[in-house]
Amino acid sequence: MSSPRKLTPQEEAKLAQARKSFQNRKQLTNSLKNISKRIGVYSGKGGVGKTTITTNLAVTLAEQNNSVAIFDCDIDCPNVTRLLRISEGPIQDKDKLIPPSRFGVKVMSMAFFQNDEDEAIIWRGPMIHNAINQFTQSTEWGNLDFMLVDLPPGTSDAPLTVMQTLNLDGFIIVTTPQELAVLDAKRSINMIKKMNLTVYGIVENLSGGVFGTGGGKSLAEEMNLPFLGSVNIREEYTNANKPVSLENKDIQKEYTEIIENLTV
């Protein structure tokens, strides 16, 4: 019987990389195994209010006695901590990070690791991928009913990395009523479909007033998706010291309706 062929250095390197990828995937799976539902909040265009939708949905879910966390995966422009008014960062416990909690919602964000929140984070795709992997594996999420993932906008490398890494159960698409926002929302839906992932439905944010209304519902009908509800444009959003769904019953009703229409 002939002895096994010795692997070339290139083959050894490929095998080592395959082992490393397998171990990373195993660690990611173990880190997220106690989370019942992982939901991405996503938009094709920046500035449509996905972070506002994410935070208010999260605190509304927490008000309903769910255990909830937000994973702020918008690495370039992390804003969840500002909206939730969180100042303290995670606590180091051996090789794990214990995320802080506010209004009943745990949070992990790149913002905790900035020296100055005004600084620009200028990273290429591989660095974003490594950061998301590191945050996922090192965070002690605990037992959760819901993790809401605030994705970066667009259809390129950053959101693709999140989708491929976190194995999300489905997505809420956020749009505003205007034509261009609706067009970009359609692009993000098509990206999700190309990856054979689930779209739970569409939310229309900043509805009413000068922005008009109906774009989100029309898109839902066109794409044969559920329309989860509208969030009206209101003055309360401009000067809130905490998520406005906790301060205004009419606003809370809008987010409660979205949750009731969400089939996960």
| 103 occurs within a structural domain | yes
Identify the pLDDT of residue 222.
97
198-220 pLDDT, tens digit each = 999 999 999 998 889 999 999 99
Q: What is the CATH number of the domain that holds 186?
A: 3.40.50.300
3-state secondary structure of 109: strand
- Please state, in angstroms and rounded to a whole number, the distance separating the CA atoms of residues 25 and 40: 19
123-167 pLDDT, tens digit each = 676 787 788 888 888 899 999 999 999 998 888 888 888 888 888
Alpha helices in 139-248 (DSSP H): 157-166, 179-194, 215-223
- Please state, in angstroms and rounded to a whole number, the distance separating the CA atoms of residues 201 and 167: 18
- Please state, in angstroms and rounded to a whole number, the distance separating the CA atoms of residues 247 and 81: 18
- Please state, in angstroms and rounded to a whole number, the distance separating the CA atoms of residues 102 and 242: 10
The answer to whether the beta carbons of residues 171 and 192 sit under 8 Å apart is yes
- Please state, in angstroms and rounded to a whole number, the distance separating the CA atoms of residues 181 and 196: 23
| 243 occurs within a structural domain | yes
| 4 occurs within a structural domain | no
- Please state, in angstroms and rounded to a whole number, the distance separating the CA atoms of residues 87 and 102: 10
67-109 pLDDT, tens digit each = 999 999 988 889 999 999 998 899 999 889 999 999 999 999 9
226-245 pLDDT, tens digit each = 999 999 999 999 877 889 99
| 224 occurs within a structural domain | yes
What is the identity of the amino acid at 183?
Answer: L
| 15 occurs within a structural domain | no
Mean residue pLDDT of the chain comes to: 89
14-26 pLDDT, tens digit each = 767 667 665 666 6
pTM of the model: 0.88
- Please state, in angstroms and rounded to a whole number, the distance separating the CA atoms of residues 225 and 245: 25
**Phi and psi at residue 209, to the nearest 5°:** 60, -140
Q: Which residue has the higher pLDDT, 225 or 27?
A: 225
* Total structural domains within the chain: 1
The answer to whether the beta carbons of residues 72 and 79 sit under 8 Å apart is yes
| 1 occurs within a structural domain | no
| 12 occurs within a structural domain | no
Range of the domain at 253: 34-261
Half-sphere exposure of 114 (CA within 13 A, CB side): 19
- Please state, in angstroms and rounded to a whole number, the distance separating the CA atoms of residues 226 and 123: 35
| 127 occurs within a structural domain | yes
Identify the pLDDT of residue 14.
72
